[in-house]
Each structure stands twice: as structure tokens, then as C-alpha cells.
Chains A and B, each alone.
Chain A
Amino acid sequence: MEFVYLILMAAAVTAFVGYPFWGKGRVTVAEDPEIAALEAAREAKYREISDAETDLATGKLSQEDYELVNAELRTDAVGLLKDLDEARDRSAASENQTS
């Protein structure tokens, strides 16, 4: 009986693990690494902008310092957004070519 359980379990595991090869389900599509990196950088930049606002509110940054830092951060963020758009366009173009 133990042997039957073992065979059944092995069969279940094989079927589950091997599903991507014989199943009809789609293969998971992962995001482009370049886009992932830029999105992570964008999120970090947004967080920096938010932190700078908090630093202004809590008195760590003067209005002048804040305006300087904020301008720098927003320029960086705009650059990142542009890079992100370009990376997405490249990724979409490459996907169209593949399909």
C-alpha cells in the first residue's frame, strides 16, 4: 500500500512540475529587467521626493535647501520617466518583432 501511495505522490508531483511542458496554460512572462530596474529607481526617487517634503516639514531642510534638493530630484525623476518610456517602447517593439 505504501508503494501505491509513493507512486501516486510521484505521479502528482511530476504532473504538477511538468505542467509547463504539456499543459495548455501560458508560460509566465516576466517583465523586462531594464524596465524593472528603472521602475525600482523611479520608486526610490519618488520616495526621496516624499522624504525631502517631510524633511522640509520637520525643519531639517530650509525652504532654499528644499527647493534646491527638490529641483534636483525632480530632474532625476523626469530623466528616469523618459528612460522608462524609451525602455517600454523598445520592449514593445522587440515583443512585436518576436510575435
Chain B
Amino acid sequence: MTAVFGAVAALIGTRSDRRWVDAARRSTYALFALLLICVLVIEYAFLTSDFSLSVVANHSSRETPLFYKFTAMWSSQEGSLLLWAFLLSLVASVSLFFSREKLRDVVPWATAIMLGIGAFFTLLMLFGGGVNPFDTLSPVPENGVGLNPLLQHPSMIIHPPMLYMGYVSLTVPFAFAIGALITRRVDAAWIKSTRGFALIAWTFLTIGVILGARWSYTELGWGGYWAWDPVENASIMPWLITTAYIHSIMVQEKRGMLKVWNVSLIVASFTLALLGTFLVRSGVLQSIHAFGDSTVGPYFLGLITVVLVGSTALIISRLPLLSSRKKIDSMASREAVFLINNLLLVSMCVLVFWGTFFPLISELFTGTKSVLAAPWFDQYTTPLAVALVLFTGIGPLLAWRRISWQGIKRVFPIPTAAAGITLVLLLLFTDASNSFWALAVFVLTSFTVVALAQETWRGAAARRTSAGGSIPGSILAVATRNRRRYGGYIVHLGFVVLLVGVAASSSFESKRDVTLSPGESVTVEDYVLTYEKPTVKRDGQAVVFGAQVSVNRNGQEFATLEPTRRYYQRTSGTRTIAGYFQGEATSEVGLRAGLRKDFWVSIEPDTNEIRQRSEVADDRFGAYMRTRVLPIIRQDPSQAGPIAQQLVAVQGLATDQIIADYLKPETATAATFRVIVSPMISWIWIGAIITIFGALFAAWPSRGSRRRKAP
């Protein structure tokens, strides 16, 4: 009601009475407070294992570690919708607080749009069918189903909220852009007010995407960090478009160009953010981490259609207003590079979109779902990514408007020489020539890094000449004086470092799948892995089979690792010993990370014999229940509770006994290992950290802007 009232009040406020606009803004604050209370109540229910709430019973259990009880809320459909609505009310409140005395015409419309979307999510929870986080169960179950084991990973604690925060933050520039279009205020004022939110959205999306990749690398057990899975793609598409948007709004601010392009990009970003939520929550495409079912899919599709059709119609109706008479002065200018950069990013997004939805498209036209696998994506996105690296380096070297031939001769030689030297060194001393694209990334990265260093150095040197001081002090001074420029340089540096990690690890990794018995070894590059002994234990709701492996490198002891495979007991129906092999299974990889190479190993134990023995034990257990236990309970029902407790304890002992056989030399069977030696993967994470630092540096208000805001 608060969201609906606020949206209506804001619409009334567009007709001049400012009291309605104030009431709408206050509705946003109230919505935030109310949703905060909802979140706190749900979290309290999770932490206290209150299984009267369906969301708690279905996504947590008494055995779920406290840490994961706290995060279980957003593993559920209803919890993640609540999180979306809550984060939306938060960013809407912050944006309206800071723009309360600005953009008189645009703000009421932006408020109506943000609260309209808020109303969509809150009404969806109430009337969407089975997605109300406050739905109760009767009778209240003794224990809950538990949290999906795949989600019990540190990355998963913050990965979803980060992505959601990114998606949700895009609502602000989208709402202000639509408000600007409706009110015909298409100058740079709305961009100025929402640039920070676009940057924050981009930063959160970056963190979310990287944490997802890290989770995939260490938890899924397949050995990679990116599989072009639909849900991964759903997170990268808004990231790509938001990256383009952040660059192109600079061209509008400085040159008054690309207005149509910018509003189209922010509409696309927001639509893709909704699509991302839809893909994760609808189950429309098969994904390793589509955790939802399809109850809310049609509603999301409806919202996406309204957003897309409405925004497109609005943009078309405002085309005369958005058109610019200004043209790009020269292709040797920063704005020209930004435009090329934009085209590359949008092309990548279109490719990813096509590949992601190809199963649906193919089914529509042929009746058969065809999936495009990772090599298809790699084939087309790799050249575009390499071109992006090139323009990431060229952009900072060019001036706005135009650069003269003399200017080119001054700024290009050193980075070009660095690229040339890198090329020669790589060809002479490495096998980088085996992969053309990787070689191109390495060479262009050296160009970019040197270009960025040269820019920073020259800026600092000029400052030093005029103001004195040390070189580090001058670098700090110029960087803090122009946070957008130098924050952008840091982001570019992080991005190319990240791509170096991607290029090296994907082009030069060595992988072997091998079955070993205890005592046997396998050699991968200069590493020798020896399967020392099997390991097994019962850990809460899981049995954990693993191996202790030793790794030698060039004859020297390098690492002792313990990859494991966790089998979680099936939580529906009767809990049996064989049920451990009928539920979810997760991998904990053995990893020794290094700046040069990562040594990675996962295990797939042979549990066939253990499974068979479990089934036999379950049969005996069942027979004992029927013939001995049930008659006692029928005679004296009050014995049911104590007997059940004893049976659980006995089943546990039996499980321990059966799995312990896995360790006996006479019964221990071989295990299959996947061993990967991958160069420079760590640089992906290092590059991401640099990128995020750069984005935060750029987003932080400069001293100048803080002074300007002071009364």
C-alpha cells in the first residue's frame, strides 16, 4: 500500500503540488523501513529455526551452520524477491534524498517509476502464488529441508546480494532517464544526478560476477570459472551494457552527443537486469545454478515487456528532441574510441544474448532445443575482447575532440615500443605463439599498461613542475584531483590484468582426467601427483569421501592436498543410509594457488560398493522396523519419540561402519581425479580487485564536489 500510494502521489505531484512529491518521497523512506522490518523478521526466523514459516522450513534446518542460516533467505524465491524489493527501497531512498532539491520536473516521474517497480515486487510477493515469505506451515515440521549444499560456500554469502544490488541500482538511472524523456529534460542534468548510481551498480555487478566465477572455480568441481551458463550470462549482459553506458554518458556530458544511444543503453541495462532475475528465478533455461521454479516467470515477463515496449515508444516519440547536430570531429579522438568501445561491448552483449536464448529460439523454429556450448561463445567473444583491450589502451592516449599528428607522435611511441618488446620476448622465450589470441592479449596489455603508466607519469610530472613535491605525492595529488579520470585508469589496468589471467589460463592450461588407486601417481607438466590414501568422514548431513594427495614439483615436495566430494543425505521422504547418494553432491577442490600457476585437483570417488552396502543395510533396517519396532509403537505410542531418537543414532553408527570400509586397503577402490595446471589464474582475482578498487576510487566524491555541496 505504501509503494502504491507513493507511486500515485508522485504522479499527482507531477502536476505541480509539491506536497504530493514530498509525500511520495516519504513513502519511499517508509517502504524502506517497512521492508527492513520484514527482512529482520525473516532473518530472525532463520536464525532461530522457526519452521512455522514455509521459507525457513524449505531452505534451512537445525543442522544448517549459523553462518548459512543468515544467508539462506536469498537462496529462496520468496526471500530473494524480498531482498530485491528491500534493496530497491534502499537505493530509491538514497537517490531521492540526494535529489530532493534537484530536477524538479524529473524527480516526481522517477519516484513514480521506482515506487511502481517497488509495488510490482511487493504485490508479487503477496499475490504471486507461493512466494510470500510470510507463508506459514501447519503442522509445523520438526526440522527443515536444509539449504541447498551448493549454496553453502563463502562466495554465495555475498554473491547474490552483490548482483542484486547491481541490478537494483540500475533502477535509479533508468527511472531518471524515463523521467527526463517524459518531461523532455534530456540535457545532462539527469546524468549528473545518477552517474554515481550507474557506477555503483557497475561495481556491485563486477563484484557479483567475480564472486560467481570464484565459486564456480572452487565449488563446482569442473575446473573452470566461466562456462557461459545462462545464469552467468544473465549477470554479464547488464555488466557489458552498463560498461558501455558509463563511457558513453561522458560523451553526452562533454559534447552533447549520443543522447538516443545513452537512454537506449540504460533501458537495455535495466531490462537485462530484470531478465537476469527472471532467468535465475524462472527456470526457463537449464542452468547449473537456476535455483528457482517457474511460479513468477510470467509476471517478470510481463514487467520486462512493459518496460521494453513503453521505453522504446517513449524514446521514439522523443527522437527529434534527442537528436544532436554535433558530430565527432575526428576518429583520432577520445569520444570516437568511446564509441568504438561501446559498439564492441554491445556486440558482445548481443552475441551472449543470442547464445543464451538460442535454445528457446531453436525450439520455437525447429521444435528441438539446441544449446550453444562454451566454444561457440569463445569463438566470437574472444576477438571482440582482444579489440577491447586495444581500445582500452588507445582511449587514454587520445584527447577529447581531436589529437594532432604531432600529438600522436608524442604519446604513442613508448607504449608501441613496449608492445613490440613484449612481442619479441614472448616469441623468443615462451610458447605464447601457440595461441594467437592469447599472444595478442599479452602484447596489447603491455601497450595498455605502459600507456596508462605514461599518462599518470606525465600528469604527475607536470604537477611536480608547477607545485613541487615528490613523484608519489604528485601522482596521489593528480589522481585525487581528478578521480574520474585516474579511477578509470585503475579500472582499465585491472581489466587488462584480469584478461591476461583469462587468456593465459584458457589457452595454456594442462588438464588430465585419470583414475588412480592409492599409491599410484600421475604427471601433469612438471608436477607429479600421488594418491596417498583415501579419506572419509560423516559431517552433519553429509558423508565426505576424499583423498590425501601429495604433489611434487621437479622432485621437490610442493603441496599436500585433500580434495573431497560431499554427498548430502536426501532430505525428502524417509532418511536412509543410501539416501546420502540420492541427494545433492558438492566438490571441495584441492587448490594450491600461485602467481605463476594454480595446481587444482578434484575427486570423483567410486562409491558403488558403499552404495550397495547402504541399500542392503537399509533393507535390513526396514525389516527390523516393520517386525520389531512398529509393534512396540502400536502398543505404546508414547515410545515413538525415544525410539525414533535411538533409531537415528543407530542409523548414524551403521553409516559410520559402512563408510569406514572405504578406508580399508582390501576394499578401497580407485578414484577418478581431474588434475589441472593452469597459468596465471590468480591474476583474474587480482585484476578484479584492482578493477573494483578503481571503481570505488572513481565513485568517491572528490574534495571539490564535497565543497560545492557544502551550504
A21, A40, A43, A62: which contacts B407 (Cβ < 8 A)? A62
Bound-state Cα–Cα, A32 to B105, Å? 9
Q: Is the interface of A mostly helix, strand, loop or mixed?
A: helix
Tally chain B residues at the interface, Cβ within 8 Å. 54
Is A16 touching B188 in the complex (CB atoms < 8 A)?
no
- Does B596 reach chain A (CB closer than 8 Å)? no
The 9 closest A-B pairs by CB, nearest first: A57-B462, A30-B104, A37-B187, A20-B22, A59-B410, A58-B458, A20-B19, A60-B399, A40-B189
Bound-state Cα–Cα, A8 to B43, Å? 23
Bound-state Cα–Cα, A55 to B459, Å? 9
Is B102 touching A31 in the complex (CB atoms < 8 A)?
yes
- Does A29 reach chain B (CB closer than 8 Å)? yes
Across-interface contacts of A37 in B (CB, < 8 A): 185, 187-189
- Does B398 reach chain A (CB closer than 8 Å)? yes
* Per-residue interface assignment for chain A, residues 8 to 19, with 1 indicating a CB less than 8 Å from any chain B CB and 0 otherwise: 010001001111
Q: Is the interface of B mostly helix, strand, loop or mixed?
A: helix
Bound-state Cα–Cα, A53 to B227, Å? 45
Cβ-closest chain A residue relative to B34: A13
Across-interface contacts of B6 in A (CB, < 8 A): 17
B29, B398, B400: which contacts A16 (Cβ < 8 A)? B29
* Per-residue interface assignment for chain B, residues 586 to 603, with 1 indicating a CB less than 8 Å from any chain A CB and 0 otherwise: 000000000000000000
Is A60 touching B403 in the complex (CB atoms < 8 A)?
yes
A40, A51, A62: which contacts B485 (Cβ < 8 A)? A51
* Per-residue interface assignment for chain A, residues 41 to 63, with 1 indicating a CB less than 8 Å from any chain B CB and 0 otherwise: 10110011011101101111110
* Per-residue interface assignment for chain B, residues 469 to 497, with 1 indicating a CB less than 8 Å from any chain A CB and 0 otherwise: 00000000010001001000000000000
Across-interface contacts of B411 in A (CB, < 8 A): 58-60
Is A16 touching B30 in the complex (CB atoms < 8 A)?
yes
- Once A51-B485, A54-B459 are accepted as A-B contacts, the answer to whether A17 and B102 lie under 8 Å apart by CB is no
Across-interface contacts of A29 in B (CB, < 8 A): 18, 101
The smallest C-beta distance from B41 to any residue of chain A, in angstroms, reads: 11
A20, A36, A48, A51: which contacts B23 (Cβ < 8 A)? A20
- Does B254 reach chain A (CB closer than 8 Å)? yes
Across-interface contacts of B553 in A (CB, < 8 A): none
- Does B100 reach chain A (CB closer than 8 Å)? yes
* Per-residue interface assignment for chain B, residues 5 to 40, with 1 indicating a CB less than 8 Å from any chain A CB and 0 otherwise: 110000000000011111101110110001000000
Cβ-closest chain A residue relative to B192: A40
Is B401 touching A69 in the complex (CB atoms < 8 A)?
yes
The smallest C-beta distance from B96 to any residue of chain A, in angstroms, reads: 10
Cβ-closest chain A residue relative to B17: A27
A20-B19, A20-B23, A65-B407 known, 16 other contacts, Cβ within 8 Å: A17-B27, A19-B23, A20-B18, A28-B18, A29-B18, A29-B101, A30-B100, A36-B104, A39-B189, A40-B187, A51-B254, A54-B478, A57-B458, A59-B411, A60-B411, A65-B402
Is A33 touching B185 in the complex (CB atoms < 8 A)?
yes
Across-interface contacts of B455 in A (CB, < 8 A): 58
Bound-state Cα–Cα, A33 to B182, Å? 14
The smallest C-beta distance from B247 to any residue of chain A, in angstroms, reads: 15
Across-interface contacts of A54 in B (CB, < 8 A): 459, 462, 478, 482, 485
Is B26 touching A19 in the complex (CB atoms < 8 A)?
yes
Bound-state Cα–Cα, A47 to B254, Å? 8
B5, B22, B30, B463: which contacts A27 (Cβ < 8 A)? B22
Across-interface contacts of A40 in B (CB, < 8 A): 187-189, 191-192, 253
Bound-state Cα–Cα, A21 to B22, Å? 9
Is A59 touching B458 in the complex (CB atoms < 8 A)?
yes
Is B18 touching A60 in the complex (CB atoms < 8 A)?
no
Bound-state Cα–Cα, A59 to B20, Å? 54
- Once A30-B103, A59-B458 are accepted as A-B contacts, the answer to whether A17 and B26 lie under 8 Å apart by CB is yes
Bound-state Cα–Cα, A33 to B184, Å? 11
Across-interface contacts of A31 in B (CB, < 8 A): 101-104
Bound-state Cα–Cα, A54 to B454, Å? 13
* Per-residue interface assignment for chain B, residues 652 to 671, with 1 indicating a CB less than 8 Å from any chain A CB and 0 otherwise: 00000000000000000000
Bound-state Cα–Cα, A88 to B30, Å? 35
The smallest C-beta distance from B333 to any residue of chain A, in angstroms, reads: 10
Cβ-closest chain A residue relative to B455: A58
Across-interface contacts of A65 in B (CB, < 8 A): 399, 402, 404, 407
Across-interface contacts of A27 in B (CB, < 8 A): 18-19, 22
Bound-state Cα–Cα, A54 to B26, Å? 43
Is A17 touching B185 in the complex (CB atoms < 8 A)?
no
The smallest C-beta distance from A53 to any residue of chain B, in angstroms, reads: 9
Is B459 touching A57 in the complex (CB atoms < 8 A)?
yes
Is A30 touching B102 in the complex (CB atoms < 8 A)?
yes
Across-interface contacts of B29 in A (CB, < 8 A): 16
The smallest C-beta distance from B180 to any residue of chain A, in angstroms, reads: 10
Across-interface contacts of B402 in A (CB, < 8 A): 65
The smallest C-beta distance from B489 to any residue of chain A, in angstroms, reads: 12
The smallest C-beta distance from A58 to any residue of chain B, in angstroms, reads: 4
Among residues 198 to 218 in chain B, which have CB atoms less than 8 Å away from a CB atom of chain A? none
Bound-state Cα–Cα, A62 to B463, Å? 17
- Does B608 reach chain A (CB closer than 8 Å)? no
The smallest C-beta distance from B238 to any residue of chain A, in angstroms, reads: 25
Is B104 touching A21 in the complex (CB atoms < 8 A)?
no
Cβ-closest chain B residue relative to A46: B704
* Per-residue interface assignment for chain B, residues 380 to 422, with 1 indicating a CB less than 8 Å from any chain A CB and 0 otherwise: 0000000000000000011111111011001100000000000
Across-interface contacts of A13 in B (CB, < 8 A): 2, 30, 34
Bound-state Cα–Cα, A29 to B107, Å? 12
Is B103 touching A33 in the complex (CB atoms < 8 A)?
yes
- Once A30-B103, A41-B187, A57-B459 are accepted as A-B contacts, the answer to whether A17 and B30 lie under 8 Å apart by CB is yes
Is A33 touching B398 in the complex (CB atoms < 8 A)?
no
